[in-house]
Every structure is written in structure tokens, then in C-alpha cells.
Amino acid sequence: MLKKMNKKVFIRSFGCQMNEHDSARLKDLLIERGYAICGSPEDANAVIFNTCSVRKHAEDRVYGKVGTLGEFKIKKPGLIIGIIGCMAEARRDEIFRKLPIVDFLCGPADLDRIPDIIDKIKNGAGRIMYLEGYKSKIIPAFSRKRFTGKTAYVKIMEGCDNFCSYCIVPYVRGRERSRASKEILEEIGLLIKKGAKDITLLGQNVNSYGKGLQEKINFVALLKKIDKIARSAKISFFTSHPKDASLELFKAMRDLKSIVNILHLPIQSGSDKILKRMNRKYTVAKYKKLALDYRKIVKGGNLSGDIIVGFPGETEKDFNDTFNIVKKLQFDAAYIFKYSPRPFTKAAGFKDDVTLKEKERRHTLLLDLQRNILSNKKLLCSRPGLEHSN
Ligand code: 5AD
Ligand code: SF4
């Protein structure tokens, strides 16, 4: 009984769906090792923050939250505090230096080690840093023994080889690696058997699925295999890179009954000069053509994008080009971010020459534009018959 009381863990996830998914798997691993998951840090013997490094703001939030745990640690000296995920990789030395209350760091590809890490610390091992997994070529399986519910994420690939000049992901999540299709299909089959109705396939760049696997397979071929076993479940996927999205993918979305017609295709900028500096490997014209092809082939399909404002060297003209393309493309959702220099990245070496005030101005302009686009779309949808009139 006493043993069980010492095994309560609180896990909080920051950032993207991939982190959410990793946290769910970590909970499963800890439960298998006899831990109970608790709903608040006050009740826990171990507190774990699964962190994000994609923008500085995300890191600042974690620093703030960990700071508030100091009090708990004074009241409960045996409390174990772990920082895991992207920030553990990116800020390894800084976290241990700045936050003496943190007991362990563990990278996103090392989560399987966490139960052992906690045991070791309990046995007096001192602070532990485990950050080698990003070099791994393997994505560990998720047993799903405890799955209940209707929605689920399934990881199909992880990591990124694109090295967009602003992005920290390739440095913290490592190189692209895919899971064998057999393993993915088994996991999806089990989830469906247990009642899953909405399944989202996850990867930093799902369109690169299959690269490096022994079997000859690509993303579209995987979707076709999944569609055959999907029954009444709906399958979505996230994220696609415009340089790899293809007509073949759009046709598969149109033809495969289980695939949801939602495409998240981050554009990032409407200026060719900025796209080149971002190392995005496509032009605005190519993106525009893709978006038009998508809308033509996948009738009524939902299209969303990410945009960064205030990238180094972004002039008023470059921003206006972004503004105009957003207006033209009429995204169903647009996620707009202020550029934030990230360690290790190429752009960190560029002069961050757009002031914060100007980034905020551009951010607000785009948000307002997107809000208008959405309210016009809603207006159109709520007037029956309008689409059929001339
Ligand atoms: N600054 C601002 N936004 C960024 N993103 C990635 N890196 C940065 C950065 N350094 C945005 C991109 C990406 C989304 C997940 O986050 O738009 O598509
Ligand atoms: Fe980052 Fe670019 Fe890879 Fe997306 S494609 S994870 S933005 S490097």
C-alpha cells in the first residue's frame, strides 16, 4: 500500500499533437510499471513536463511552470521533477544550471527509459540526463492495451530531414524514420476493434512516409492499406509539406472513403525571397497551384496553413505578398506565428531585424484578415441555396 502511494505521477504536455501522443504513451508505460497517474502536481511524487521548443514563448511557459514547483519540493523533498521532450534536448545544460529542482531530463525519443530513470533517482542516483534517442532509427510501438474512447493518434513517422532554416525540430526530434506498415495496421486494427472512430496519423512530414524502410511503400500506398481496414472509422493525417504533397495524394483523399478531407499544408510565407531564405524548397506559384488542384480534386475539402510573420529580412512588400496570398487562398484555418529565433538553426545566424512591435502589427493584420475570411465563409454556409445561385 505504502509502495503504491509513492508511485503517483503527474504529467503535463505542452506543444503539438506529437507531444500529446508521447505523453499518452508515457502514461501507459508508467501504469505498466505500477504507477498511478494523478490529476494535479500537489498529489504527485513525480512531476513530468513534456515540453515544446518550437518558439521561445513555449519554453518561457515551461520555465515559469517549473518555477512554481519549488514550493512543492520544499514541502515534499522526495518529489521528483522531470523535464522531457524537445526542450530537454534543446536546453539540456541551461535547464540543469538554471533549475536545481529538476532531477532528470529525457529527450522525446527516450521515453521508454523514464520508469527506470525514476527508480534510479529514488535509489539515490542523483540527477540524470538521457538524450541520445534522437539518433535512433526506431519508433517504439504503443501497446494500446488500455485504450478506451473514440479518438486516437497513431504515429507513422517521426523526425524531419527538411531543415527549414527557422525550425528546431530536426535538431530535437532527429532524422526522419518510419514505422513498418504492418505495425501501423495492427495498431489501427486494434484501436478500431476497441471502438476508435477518429484516428489521426501523425508525423512531422507524413508525405515522406516510407523513406528508409525495407518495404517499398509511400504515404499514399499506406493510406490505401489503412482504408481497407478502417470500417466506419475516419482517418485524418497531419502534417504535410508542400514540396511533397502530390496530385496522387489528393486523388487518394477523394477516392478513399475513410480519409477525412482536411489538408494542413503550411505555406509559411507569400514571398519567394522569404521562402528561399526559409529553405522551404517551393515557390508561391507552386503552392498556389497545389492549393487550387486540391480544391478542384477534393471538392469541399478543408485547407489550412501555418504562417510565420517577421522572419529576418521580411520587408513590408514581402509581408503584403503574404497578406495577399492569404486573402486569395481563403484558408479554412490559418495558424499565424511571430518569428522566434531558435538555437542550432540556420536562421538564428540571420539578423532578427523585424522589431517585436512590427511582428505584432503584422500578426494582428493577418489574424484580422483570417477572422474576416472565416466569418464570410460562415455567412455563405448559413445562407442555404446561395452556392447554387448565380
Ligand atoms: N518561429 C516562429 N514560428 C515557428 N514555427 C516553427 N518554427 C518557428 C519559429 N522559429 C511554426 C511554423 C510551423 C509551426 C508548427 O510552427 O509555422 O509550421
Ligand atoms: Fe520544421 Fe520544416 Fe521539418 Fe516542419 S518541415 S518540422 S517546419 S524543419
> Where do the domains of the chain lie?
4-135, 137-253, 261-390
Phi, psi of 79, deg, nearest 5:
-60, 130
Same fold across 137-253 and 261-390: yes
Phi-psi region of 204 (alpha: psi -120 to 50; beta: other; left: phi over 0): alpha
pTM for this model (two decimals): 0.94
Q: Are strands 157-158 and 177-178 parallel, antiparallel or unpaired?
A: antiparallel
- Taking domain 4-135, whether its CATH number is 3.40.50.12160 is answered by yes
Which of 238, 147, 221 has its CA nearest to residue 185?
221
Rounded mean pLDDT, 218-238:
98
Task: For residue 239, say if its preceding peptide bond is cis, omega within 30 degrees of 0.
Answer: yes
Band of pLDDT at residue 390, cut at 50, 70 and 90: very low
- For residue 336 and ligand 1, the question of a CB distance below 6 A is answered with no
Architecture of domain 137-253: 2-Layer Sandwich (3.30)
Burial 267-302 (b: 16+ CB within 10 A, else e): bbbbbbebbebbebebebeebeebbeebbebbeebe
Q: Is the CB of 275 under 6 A from ligand 2?
A: no
For 61-119, write each residue's pLDDT tens digit: 999 999 899 888 888 889 999 999 999 999 999 999 999 999 999 999 999 999 999 99
Alpha helices in 85-133 (DSSP H): 86-90, 92-98, 114-122
261-390 fold: Transcription Regulator spoIIAA (3.30.750)
Q: Is the CB of 172 under 6 A from ligand 1?
A: no
pLDDT surpassing 70 at residue 291: yes
Grid cell 445562407 — which residue? Answer: 383
| pLDDT at site 4 | 56
Choose between 249 and 68: higher pLDDT: 249
Q: How far apart are CA 118 and CA 82, in angstroms?
A: 9
Dihedral of alpha carbons 114, 90, 310, 312, sign:
negative
> Is any ligand 1 atom within 6 A of the Cβ of residue 352?
no
Instruction: Say what the pLDDT of residue 385 is.
Output: 42
Instruction: Please give the angle made by the CA atoms of 210, 214 and 215, to the nearest 5 degrees.
Output: 65
Our separate counts of H helices and E strands in the chain read 15, 14
For residue 183, report the distance from its CA to the centre of ligand 1, in Å.
31
From 167, 244, 281, 282, mutation site for ligand 2 pocket: most ligand atoms within 8 A of C-beta? 167
